[in-house]
Amino acid sequence: MRKLHQTKERRQQQLFLVEGTHLLEAALKADRPIVTLCYTIAWQSKYPQLYEQAQQVAQRIELVSVDVLRAVATTVEPDGVVATIERTATPAPSFISLGLVLETIQDPGNLGAMIRTAAAAGAEGILLSGDSVDFDHPKVLRASAGQWFQLPMAASSDLKADLSRYQSQGMQIIATRPAATLTYWQVDLRQPTLVLMGNEGAGLSSELAAIADQQVTIPLNPGVESLNVAIAAALMLYEAKRQRG
């Protein structure tokens, strides 16, 4: 079998892995160019139309055994297809009404869940600090349930500067902080808003929290230290959706 990735390290670094039928469908729907398509004969027989669509746009097609596919995939039991897609540079989202900004998110499952939730709640995109987990980590893609290909996303090399720029454009920044005095439903989220969330363990840095227009807390019962960041992001985004009717 020919190598899944081209041999040059630079080329390898420009590709990311898409695993499974659902994500392949999402990639094709978004017109993302397929570099390599690896599939089993059983998968081809089960999804003939999807195979025809994918093989027409893929640069390279490889029929592989189940064992080879397992070796390539990161999932324990891949469903018969994986593909590589070329990374593309993505500019910072053009926030107008609602967006999610994340600092030092480390868990790919959390990031994927927030991508899915942000798309469902009507957010216009996600901006992520550069020291966070990679956007195209395989678990991020899987947890996003296909919304990865639909929601504008970018990593920021200077999150503080980018937030200041959005503020100058009329976006209010609402930061979540445990010690804040306002609850998240007491602020006006009907105006253009960026929801700012921090790291799973350490929370939001003081430097970024200080530039927020308002800080809010999500009330917790005694004895509960914190919420999962993906759950907290969902509460904030859906409160904005509720206020906007």
Domain spans in the chain, listed from the N-terminal domain onward: 9-86, 98-243
Q: Residue 4: is its pLDDT beyond 80?
A: no
Rounded alpha-carbon distances, angstroms, from residue 241 to 72, 118, 193, 225? 40, 11, 11, 26
Taking residues 141-151, what's their average pLDDT? 93
The pLDDT value given to residue 228: 95
C-alpha to C-alpha distance for 197 and 185, rounded to whole angstroms: 16
**Which tens digit of pLDDT belongs to each residue from 25-46?**
999 999 998 999 999 999 999 9
Q: Does the predicted model carry a pTM greater than 0.85?
A: yes
Chosen CATH of 9-86 out of 3.40.50.300, 3.30.1330.30, 1.10.340.30, 3.30.70.1560: 3.30.1330.30
Quick one: CATH architecture of 98-243? 3-Layer(aba) Sandwich (3.40)
Contact 97, 240 (CB under 8 A): no
**Range with lowest mean pLDDT among 80-94, 189-203, 226-240:** 80-94
65-85 pLDDT, tens digit per residue, is 999 999 999 988 899 999 999
